[in-house]
Amino acid sequence: METIKTGKQKDKTAALITGVFYLAAALTAIVALKLYEPILYHPDYLVQGAKNTYLIVLGAFLELLTVATVAGTAIMLFPYLRKFNESMGLAYLCFRVLEAILILVGIVSVLSLLTLSQTFTKAVAPDVVNYQITGIILKAVHDYTFMLGPNFMLGINTFLYSLVFYSSRLIPKKLALMGLIGALLIFLASLLELFGLIRQVSVEGVLLALPVFAYEIILAVWLITKGFNQEVLSARSLQAKVWI
pLDDT tens per residue across span 219-237: 999 999 999 999 998 887 7
Domain residues for 32? 2-243
Residues 6+ apart with CB under 8 A from 153: 95, 96, 98, 99, 102
Q: How far apart are CA 165 and CA 158, in angstroms?
A: 10
- pLDDT (tens digit per residue) in 58-87: 999 999 999 999 999 999 999 999 999 999
Give the angle 221-82-223 at the CA atoms, nearest 5°. 10
Among residues 80, 12, 71, the alpha carbon closest in space to that of 222 is found at 12
pTM of the model as a whole? 0.93
Domain count, the chain: 1
* pLDDT score of 3 more than 90: no
pLDDT above 70 covers a percentage of the chain that reads 95
